[in-house]
Structure 1
């Protein structure tokens, strides 16, 4: 179904972090941006669609105007809002927001550090764009910061702090409803496997809390009102977001899942006067496997089914990031711990 393309070389190897790959497709310029975190550096590559031209950039996590104050980066992710795209970088010191090409830092938010030494580390992790103008970022305290982002410029403001988790945030995901009113459009996960489902707006509302099993939920997605969650057990669980009803549970991997991604525009089909929404799900784990799954939803019954489609083994590699490169799932990319390359696959 997929075949391996020429890899993209990066300046440094990938750190063993959840969701350690960012992808942004720039259709008007026929470019794709990739980001991979190594220690206190974000390696950024701009690649042409024909695979002939590349440019590299490195971003460091440091306080503005403090040249020597660097810290370990925990995540780098692209946030695509209707009016602009931003690259958000989280670390032990704060949150940085850049223009999508990494050329200009437009905002810096410093984290509150305790005056006395505590056992708990302080960091930010979990990044998601929400609705028209919000970017949400999780903290090690379990809080979630909501930033209001203007259509241009650097006048970004902290508009809300959401409290729903008691453990460190691991990941967040949102779903754009295309102008329709969404009951639930944001989900957050934490180190205890707990999920919180939110409704965005001028005031974000906590709609549902789905309890965990003391096993970290390392990656989470939201699709058609369904939460797709990957766990340290190697399992994938599908929940109805608003009610918390478990649709499916799959023993997807033999080891810790590090990354999930969804290609939302895979299509829809009509069968016996019923419309079925189709999507592709990508999962990647420490067991060196990347797997592609078929998600099917019947809107009338709100039932969701998952079926396995494809395996790819990246031999002797602890996979730490996997992303589709486009909305229809035609291609995907993979990173691995201590690998200085981004491995790409396209449909045959």
Structure 2
């Protein structure tokens, strides 16, 4: 179903972090951006769609505008907003927001200060108001339903529908919080995790897709928390999930060196979701820590592994 393409070399290897790969497709310029975290540095690569041209940039964790070698970066991801795309870095010291190409830091927010004791492991979710341009970004709300460290968050646009979930957050205890965004965030549901870490979570057509340290994937109805499906997907800890929203393809990657592609189908009459296994790929002797589709149809995906200084790409045959 997929075949391996030429790998993209990065300047330093991937750290063993959940979801340690972020991808942004820039269609007007025929470019794809990739970002991978290594300790206190983010490796960013801009790649042409034909795979012939690359440019590299490294972003370092900062405290204000001063680079700091002691602050580890915990996550780097692109946030695609209606009028803007930002690259957001979270470190032990604070949150950095860059223009999508990493060229300009537009905002920095300090963490764990006396005025705002919201450290990286407190479980707090910070909500920011972001204008369509400029750096006048403000903290508007702090959501404090989680008591353990946040592991992942995902969103999906629900349009103007009332009481439809459009964000889900997960933590180290496996707790999932389902939210409706708006002027203020509204908590719709809390789904217990039974003290097993949920490492990665996605939201698709009102369904929460959650991956766990047990190697299991569970599909929940977001608003009610009813379990649709539970799959013993991997032999070891799952590090990353991704969904291609247009096709319903689901990507999972784990410590067991396997990347798997699944297909989700929605049955509107019964309001249930089914999952079918489609494809396996073994990345030999590699603890996979990031996997992302490179497009909304799932035509291509990319993979990173702990201590691996490359991004491995696959496209449909």
| TM-score interval (norm. to shorter) | over 0.9
Give the count of matched residue pairs: 316
SS across alignment from 1:265: coil
Which of 283, 300, 306 is 1:337 aligned to?
306
> Which residue does 2:157 correspond to in 1?
176
After superposition, give the CA deviation of every residue in 1:174-219 in whole Å (9 maximum; x if it has no partner).
0013555561100000000010001101110111000111110000
After superposition, give the CA deviation of every residue in 1:97-122 in whole Å (9 maximum; x if it has no partner).
0000000000100002579xxxxxx8
SS across alignment from 2:108: strand
- Taking a change above 3 Å as real, the CA distance of residues 199 and 71 of structure 1, as seen in their structure-2 partners, is same
SS across alignment from 2:62: coil
What are the residue-to-residue correspondences of 1:49-88 with 2, within 5 Å? 49-68=49-68, 70-88=70-88
Once the two structures are TM-superposed, the CA of residue 48 in structure 1 deviates from its matched residue by 0.2
The TM-score with structure 2 as length reference comes to 0.97
Once the two structures are TM-superposed, the CA of residue 298 in structure 1 deviates from its matched residue by 1.3
What are the residue-to-residue correspondences of 1:1-348 with 2, within 5 Å? 1-68=1-68, 70-113=70-113, 123-124=119-120, 140-178=121-159, 180-181=161-162, 183-266=164-247, 279-348=248-317
> Which residue does 1:274 correspond to in 2?
none
After superposition, give the CA deviation of every residue in 1:254-311 in whole Å (9 maximum; x if it has no partner).
0000000000011xxxxxxxxxxxx000000000000000100012321100010000
After superposition, give the CA deviation of every residue in 1:139-184 in whole Å (9 maximum; x if it has no partner).
x111111011111111111010011111111000000135555611
Once the two structures are TM-superposed, the CA of residue 224 in structure 1 deviates from its matched residue by 0.5
CA distance in 2, matches of 1:68, 1:204: 33
Matched-pair contact (CA < 8 Å) for 1:60–1:70: no
Q: Name structure 2 gaps, 5 residues minimum.
A: none
Matched-pair contact (CA < 8 Å) for 1:321–1:334: yes
CA distance in 2, matches of 1:151, 1:286: 39
Matched-pair contact (CA < 8 Å) for 1:193–1:215: yes
Comparing 295-304 with 4-13, greater Cα deviation is found at 295-304
SS across alignment from 1:244: coil
Matched-pair contact (CA < 8 Å) for 1:172–1:221: yes
Once the two structures are TM-superposed, the CA of residue 82 in structure 1 deviates from its matched residue by 1.4
CA distance in 1, matches of 2:314, 2:152: 25
Once the two structures are TM-superposed, the CA of residue 65 in structure 1 deviates from its matched residue by 3.5
CA distance in 1, matches of 2:105, 2:193: 36
Once the two structures are TM-superposed, the CA of residue 64 in structure 1 deviates from its matched residue by 2.1
CA distance in 2, matches of 1:182, 1:211: 20
